[in-house]
Structure 1
Amino acid sequence: MSDSQKILDAWDAYSDEHTDLDGWPYDDHAYGRRASQRDADTAAAFEPLRYGARHLLATAETQLTRLPENTVQSRWVYQLGVLRTALDRLDELHEQWLLARDALPSTATPGTPDFDDALAEHHAESWSYLDDWATHGKALREINTAARKAPSPLAPAPALAPARRIAARK
């Protein structure tokens, strides 16, 4: 997730430097190439997380239900929903990419315009959902930290003074 943040920060710096005050790029072609690189870099940064993402979400959702109410951030439920929706959409887009890739001519291999253009389009479609993970993914870590710090429901409650000591004081 920190790699994604670095990519986004670098993009923001590039965009600020290469657009006018209204946000229009000075050079559409160069700006488009850089956006395409941002999309590809963000996809690559998410790839190691992709296969464990559902497990991470399920774990966070379970942890959230077991946390003491006073330790829960109200935004966490929303953020987990955003992450789940983004992951669902990323899975759909991945399936569409596999179909599109399989429909390419046999001469379309990585490094050829047909392949690279199709992949760039896939990355562009995926970027906003990957950005959701970069933006809201820290909630998974926050929930896990809160769960580790929360008192265990298995820990014994503080012992009450035995009734006979209280009665002896009277």
Structure 2
Amino acid sequence: MSGSRKILDAWDAYSDEHTDRDGWPYDNHAYGLRASQRDADTAEAFESLRYGARHLLATAEIQLGRLPQDTMQSRWVYQLGILYAALDRLDELHEQWLVTRDSLPTAAKPGTAAFDDALAEHHAESWSYLDDWATHGKALLEINSAARTTRSPLAPAPAPAPVRRSAALK
């Protein structure tokens, strides 16, 4: 998630520098190439999280259900919903990519225009959902942190400190 955040921060800096006040790029071609690179970098950064993402969401949901109301942020439920929806869509787009990739001519390998253009289109379609993860994924860490620092209602109360007798009372 932090890798995606760095990519998005770099993109924001690039975009601010290479667009006019209304957000129109000074050079459409260069801007498009840089956006395509952003999409690919963000997809790559998410890959290490992809296979464990559902487990992370389920864990956060369980943790959230066990937190006392006064320790919860109201936005966390909303953010988990965004993350679930984004992951569902990313899974659908990944399946579509596999079908597209398998339908490419046998000569279409990475580095060829046919393959690279199809992959760039897949990354572009995925980007907004990856952006959701970069934007809202921090909620998973926040929920986990709250769960780790909140005393469980099942845990025994801490034992009282032993009373120390002064030497004069002995």
Task: Give the alignment's TM-score, normalised by structure 1.
Answer: 0.92
The size of the alignment, in residue pairs, is 159
Residue 145 of structure 2 corresponds to 145
Structure 2 partner of 1:162: none
Distance 2:61 2:28 in 1: 43
What is the CA-CA distance between 1:155 and the residue it aligns to? 1.5
1:153 positional shift: 2.2
CA distance in 2, matches of 1:94, 1:138: 23
Match of 2:56 in 1: 56
Aligned residue number for residue 84 of structure 1: 84
Check if 1:30 corresponds to 2:30.
Answer: yes
Alignment partners' CA distance in 1, 2:110 and 2:54:
29
CA distance in 2, matches of 1:32, 1:156: 59
Residue 163 of structure 1 corresponds to none
State the shift of 1:152 in Å: 1.6
For 2:15 and 2:58, the matched residues in 1 are separated by 36
State how far apart, in whole Å, the 1-side matches of 2:133 and 2:110 are: 27
**Residues in 1 aligned to 2:2 and 2:156: alpha-carbon distance in whole angstroms:** 38
SS at match of 2:36: helix
The letter for the 2-side match of 1:137 is G
Structure 2: state its 5+ residue gaps. Answer: 160-170
The residue that corresponds to 1:19 in the other structure is 19
Q: How far apart are residue 154 of structure 1 and its match?
A: 2.1
Written as runs of structure 1 = structure 2, the 5 A alignment for 1:18-167 is 18-157=18-157
In structure 2, what residue type is equivalent to 1:50?
A: R
What amino acid is aligned across from residue 5 of structure 2 in structure 1?
Answer: Q
Where in structure 1 do 4 or more consecutive aligned residues deviate above 4 Å? none
Separation in 1 of the partners of 2:19 and 2:72? 41
Q: Which runs of 5+ in 1 are unaligned?
A: 160-170
Write the distance in 2 (CA, Å) between the matches of 1:59 and 1:156. Answer: 23
Write out per-residue CA displacement over residues 132-163 of structure 1, whole angstroms, 9 at most, x where no aligned residue: 0000000000000000001122212478xxxx
Amino acid in structure 2 at the alignment position of 1:83: L
Percent identity (aligned): 82
What CA distance in whole angstroms lies between the structure 2 residues aligned with 1:55 and 1:45? Answer: 18
